């Protein structure tokens, strides 16, 4: 199974690439208490946009997380979301 599938657990996604935690924070997905849930189930339960989150995960995966500090993630993530929105139109 690919790490990025909707059926992967949120905890596994973050464990594999800790920078993904920033994506989940941006979208309001609980990766701590709901870490055992699949991304698909968590999005369905909370009405989150699964496609947008999946589209942003590659950017979060590239982030280096050091002592809670991050650099440029917001700009990268917002740029990715804009590009994804343009493709959807």
Q: Where are the domains of the chain?
A: 10-88
Q: What percent of the chain has pLDDT over 90?
A: 38
Are 9 and 22 spatial neighbours (Cβ–Cβ below 8 Å)?
Answer: no
**Contacts of residue 12, Cβ cutoff 8 Å, sequence gap at least 6:** 3
Can you tell me the distance from the alpha carbon of 5 to that of 2, in angstroms, rounded to the nearest whole number?
6
Q: Kindly report the pTM of this predicted structure.
A: 0.67
Mean pLDDT, residues 25-34: 90
- Structure confidence by residue, pLDDT tens digits, 46-65: 999 999 999 999 888 777 65
Per DSSP, what are the bridge partners of residue 69?
Answer: 66
In the DSSP assignment, the letter for residue 7 is T
Pick the closest to residue 36 from 9, 59, 56 (CA basis): 9
Q: Residue 9 above 80 pLDDT?
A: yes
């Amino acid at each position: 199974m690919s790490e990025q599938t909707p059926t992967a657990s949120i905890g596994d996604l973050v464990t594999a690439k800790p920078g993904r935690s920033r994506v989940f924070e941006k979208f309001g997905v609980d990766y701590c208490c709901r870490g055992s849930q699949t991304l698909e189930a968590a999005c369905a339960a909370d009405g989150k946009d699964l496609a947008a989150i999946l589209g942003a995960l590659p950017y979060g995966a590239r982030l280096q997380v050091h002592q809670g500090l991050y650099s440029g993630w917001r700009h990268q993530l917002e740029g990715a979301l804009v590009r994804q929105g343009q493709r959807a139109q």
